[in-house]
Structure 1
Amino acid sequence: MRRRAIFTVLAAATALGGFTAPAAHADETVGDIQITNVDVNGGKDIVVDAVDKTITVSVTATDPSGVWDADFYLWRGPDGTDPYSTADGYIAPNEDTTPADCIASSATTSTCSKTFTFEPDSWLANADAGTWKVGVQVFANDDSRAERWAATTTRLQRHSKLTVNASPEPIAKGTTLTITGKLTRANWDTLDYRGYTNQPVELQYRRAGTTTYTTVKTVHTSSTGDLTTTATASEDGYWRWNFAGTSTTPAVKATGDFVDVQ
């Protein structure tokens, strides 16, 4: 299995496949080449379960001579950090070869792609969840080149699950209904799911025959990710929990649980 390349110092340019490490300065453009778009995972956050996940990163660029290669890297560190020497973390693409997979849309413009595989059973750890910068290099046929240290950003997130149960069912009108549930997320350190602690989760209700949920109250998860509260049963309808998500964990809604009120 591939292992993530994490550096505090970039020891050799060959560690990044097609990369040639530039001098210690930020964005660079040589020649007429222009980067027009950078896409990570189709514009979606990278949400990883407890199993491997592969995503694609691509760049569209144009140059009078045509574009033939590109390379990418994910990294993180505070503003002003040099990704080649002082980054807190560094992730290299799967493809160590050059050129990248480039598809020309015209004589001057191409979209080049490489893949990244995130492997909880090999190197991915819970501490890796969060926002990552996306560095890009592109190369033209006439030796024009461009690099953007932070062309865009992406969020690497731990997949979440949310359950709900409203009881008793059926229930008499005007009596107390108990609604429970559990918020869990992928644990990349243990390759399973664990409760997400002390998170605000909305209890929502939808009356039978309607399509819109209304928030009733907000409840925080316990130390094990459990949720429990009560509400008065007034009429037939659906109850669910709704979690808004965090920078490390995606939003998730439980499937509504129907309660027959008699």
Structure 2
Amino acid sequence: MRIRASVAAVTGALALSALAVPAAHADGTSAYRTEAVKIVKGTHAAAGKQGIKGVRGDMPYDLNVSFSNFKVAKAIKVGTTNHVATTVTYTMTHGADVDITADDFLSGPYLYKGAFDTPDNMLFGDLPATCRVVTNTTATCTGKVDIYPDFGDLWNSDAGAWKGGAIAIAYNGQDEEDPDLSQVGLADKGGLGSTLVQRYSRQTVNASPEPVKKGKTITVTGALTRASWDDSRYFGYTKQSVKLQFMKKGGSAYTTLKTVKTDSKGNLKTTVKASADGYFRYSFAGTSTTPAIDSTADFVDVK
């Protein structure tokens, strides 16, 4: 399990502190992630159930709250610098003895990579979810997961499949910065949903010469690149199959002419015979770690 400079990659323990300070620093790192490092001493898994130890060595009690109907985007595309926020909705069911309208009751979604008890990484929202009371024991909640790639939230190895979880915490009048954890209720559940966190992709195309005589050779070049979260740059996506497509002027759909593989630097190059005025593009189908993308069209005038 990793500990980042800006994100403490812990389990339910991080979630507890995550909701303790619902605010965001100017550098993009939410305050709760900083607080997590201060108040969480460690995590442990016992009998398959997550527990935490706090500053006073106490344990929070199990809060009578469960989660269902967790919905998150199928894929989340993250570049190198821009803050990305994805909306999550879920249903929260609770015992009649749990006051979810209390000022110090908080709930929120999160995403985690790897095993629930020992995740490789976790992503939370800058603020807790907003929950709307439906009945005296149910509420519908809407929250966000915020991602800041330029502040170390992700590494390249994090790309791919993630799972969703949710948390609820009742402070019961405790000081949120230094609570007696034995008086705090905590519900933390993983495996509620799934998504892909993907490295943002870029695709270019250039067909030349322009114009060209009918029957002559057109050379179509391009490059497929994707975000590197390790160093905040874009690099070529190597050895990937990309379709060269063409649409005649006045047409409404592209036709695949051939499939080309990117080289060791992510570059593409192939040739075709000029037949008619039209548009060329490269189309990448995507992978679990990198989203599908089509280049913009490049028009060639055939004389």
Structure 2 counterparts to residues 66-105 of structure 1, below 5 A: 68=100, 69-77=106-114, 81=115, 83-84=116-117, 86-95=118-127, 100-105=129-134
- Over 3 Å counting, the alpha-carbon distance change for 1:13 and 1:246 in structure 2 is closer
The whole-number CA distance in structure 2 between the counterparts of 1:13 and 1:257 is: 48
Aligned length: 246
Aligned residue for 1:50? 80
Check conservation: 1:187, 1:194, Cα contact below 8 A: yes
Given the alignment of the two structures, is residue 37 of structure 1 paired with residue 66 of structure 2, yes or no?
no
1:147: Cα distance to partner? 5.2
The whole-number CA distance in structure 1 between the counterparts of 2:237 and 2:290 is: 9
The whole-number CA distance in structure 1 between the counterparts of 2:204 and 2:119 is: 38
Check conservation: 2:109, 2:166, Cα contact below 8 A: yes
Structure 2 counterparts to residues 163-174 of structure 1, below 5 A: 163-174=204-215
Moved more, 173-182 or 43-52: 43-52
1:26: Cα distance to partner? 6.5
The whole-number CA distance in structure 2 between the counterparts of 1:149 and 1:11 is: 13
1:72: Cα distance to partner? 2.9
Aligned residue for 1:181? 222
Check conservation: 1:5, 1:92, Cα contact below 8 A: no
1:139: Cα distance to partner? 7.6
- Over 3 Å counting, the alpha-carbon distance change for 1:50 and 1:145 in structure 2 is closer
Counterpart pick for 1:114 among 125, 143, 151: 143
1:63: Cα distance to partner? 5.5
Counterpart pick for 2:198 among 138, 150, 157: 157
TM-score scaled to structure 1, two decimals?
A: 0.79
1:161: Cα distance to partner? 0.8
Check conservation: 1:134, 1:150, Cα contact below 8 A: yes
Moved more, 252-261 or 145-154: 145-154
The whole-number CA distance in structure 2 between the counterparts of 1:109 and 1:214 is: 51
Where 1:121 maps in the other structure, the secondary structure is helix
Check conservation: 1:67, 1:109, Cα contact below 8 A: no
1:194: Cα distance to partner? 1.2
TM-score scaled to structure 2, two decimals?
A: 0.69
**Which one has a larger percent helix, Structure 1 or Structure 2?**
2
1:16: Cα distance to partner? 4.4
The whole-number CA distance in structure 1 between the counterparts of 2:129 and 2:99 is: 11
Moved more, 128-137 or 221-230: 128-137
The whole-number CA distance in structure 2 between the counterparts of 1:13 and 1:137 is: 7
Where 1:246 maps in the other structure, the secondary structure is coil
Percent identity between the aligned chains? 43
Aligned residue for 1:211? 252
The whole-number CA distance in structure 2 between the counterparts of 1:183 and 1:161 is: 6
- Over 3 Å counting, the alpha-carbon distance change for 1:202 and 1:25 in structure 2 is same
